[in-house]
Structure 1
Amino acid sequence: MEQVLIHPVVDDAERIDNLADDALKLLTRIIATPSFSGEEHGTAALITDFLYGHHIPVHRNYNNIWAFNKYYDPAKPTILLNSHHDTVKPNEGYTCDPFEPVMADGRLYGLGSNDAGGCLVSLLSVFVYFYDDAHLPFNLCIAATGEEENSGYNGLNAVLPQLGNIAFAIVGEPTQMHMATAEMGNMVLDCVCYGKPGHAARNEGDNAVYKALKAIQWFSTYQFPKQPAFMWPVKMSVTQINAGIQHNIIPHECRFTVDVRLNSCYTADEVLDVIKSYTGCEITVRPGVMQPSSISHIHPLVLSGIDLGRKTYVSPTSSDQGWLTVPSMKMGPGDSARSHMADEYIFMDEIREGINVYIHLLNNLVYRLIHNPELPLSYPC
């Protein structure tokens, strides 16, 4: 295969340093502003002010903020740059104020610093970098969205129809700036097994716990036969269980929750049909089923990342990629292992590196498209 040379990017070290400084200032303000899922109005205002400060027109729906590059051309393909500004609630293990941004030992501490504040401010900076470039062979759309942590319908899902025809997406989540080219989907099931109450001292009643145990045993051992080349098998994990009202009463119902990770071989409905046929449980699917997502390893974006020494992998966690029906790649500064941990942090150098790698990635893509304008950006997964 003919080797594609990396686009010879002019050394923009000073400009990238300035972007990184501004990104860190924005991130400290975001950390200091509580933004639990569905309550992101404060951080939405901060992001709006940041873009306005760069003379960029902004659109808003709910707490979602988006903008297009200055020379947007509907005849060109559009790349979506997306990350979220909502957070989970801080856990009890915090030893510091989760809403007080603290810089120490090269780290920035605070709730949402790693997941996904660092990714968000890096992508915003990259959008600013390319905003007024009149010669891009594609459009850029930046979308800072809410309700990612609870898979809410008023996040990215609510604004996708207003973003136009997206060719593919880069979703900002902490990946150490490597490329998650596939992501498992997610479906959560609330299951109930029914029995009949009776006195525990006598041979009466029908124990719902024993019925649930049979179903749980099936969940722990069943393997779906089909497996894609670049994803893991469907995975089912029982994560919660509740039954009984008193020690001497046979429980008449047992409720348990199952976390299901989906691959591209089965639709959510197909997986659900198999589960129902084997378990006999009453099953309710929680809203917000996230579909598996991927991008081809020969997509120009992925090849551009490989040229930069970025690795590819399959992500076990779900994100807003699950709302997308176009090829998408998860990539961002930070480490997924730090997400939702107590005393969450991101290394400040990771943000500068993230901005730098994102810029080189898109410049590399520009180079490929200039030399081969027929390259398909909506390359099938």
Structure 2
Amino acid sequence: MRIVSVDLGARSYPIWIDEGILSHAELLLPHLPQPNGVIVTNTTVAPLYLETFRAALERHGVAVSAVVLPDGERYKNWETLQRIFDALVDVRAERETTVIALGGGVIGDMAGFAAACWQRGAPFLQVPTTLLAQVDSSVGGKTAINHPRGKNLIGAFYQPRAVLIDTATLRTLPARELRAGLAEVIKYGLIRDAAFFEWLEHRIESLLALDAESIAIAVERSCRNKAEVVAADETERGVRATLNLGHTFGHAIETATGYTQWLHGEAVAAGMMIAAEVSLRLGWLTENDCARIEGLLIRAGLPVRGPALDTDQVWQLMTGDKKVVGGKIRFVLLKGIGEAVVTADVPKTVVDAALAARLG
């Protein structure tokens, strides 16, 4: 078993990574204030893993109920969130009743936000079942729902008490979802871990083939990168903003297409290429580095161009993004592979040229 710690003082928590760990519910027991909980999952994950996980908890005397939500980013809204609250009311959940997210990033974000709100803060556990959730969204305490005019605009920073990652769940993940998760893995190499990026260049086919050792290394290395950044800047006042590489452009793509056509990781991949294009045009990134980034994304089966969107619409969506400060968009760009920078001082003409080159 691989273990990564997110060091946040009294609120520090472990991330356990292993194959078949879903049945080892005893790891979670010290993080349950009382022996009951509500599992939040979706219609895709429930038939695969809900009963296995529920039985593992019940073997250790934990009484659990479940709420099964529809699957998809388009359901990450107030109406679906209300279903979690309704389930908590139905079982007379208390402040110490643990909310457990079993699923991908959408489930983790909504369950975490519900936990943050329920009686002003209930215990929360993450059990991510997609690659994207395992390497990114389950770690760090960002919880949210979408607004029709912007992604993740309504939410809270609310840390889980533990994260349980069973890499065996990736075997039932659709290939497209696996590829989307790799975008976030590649991101860590781009923003702060050049050696990891080089490792990915050598092992990307092994990851696509779900080689167990390669997956374990990639998940652990990603979680360790994320944990270090979160420990240094929990609420994104500084270095944590670099984790948003590709997300300002990517969120605009997701919102413009109604959260139905592009997976989050796909939009982030296209967004990272737009950011690389801006960096190239600013003279910060070399042609060779830009080609390496594009080449790795292509080999991972990810898009390197966004959809055909109107540039004015993209700007409108970006200016409504939560990363805007003082009315200015803070772009996450690259000074090189492994070195990200956050800046609002980017000429609009440069961004427009990059959008023209990478959209449609």
The alignment's TM-score, normalised by the length of structure 2, stands at: 0.24
Structure with the greater alpha carbon radius of gyration: 1
Larger RCO (alpha carbons 8 Å, 6+ apart): 1
Q: Which has the higher helix share?
A: 2
The alignment's TM-score, normalised by the length of structure 1, stands at: 0.23
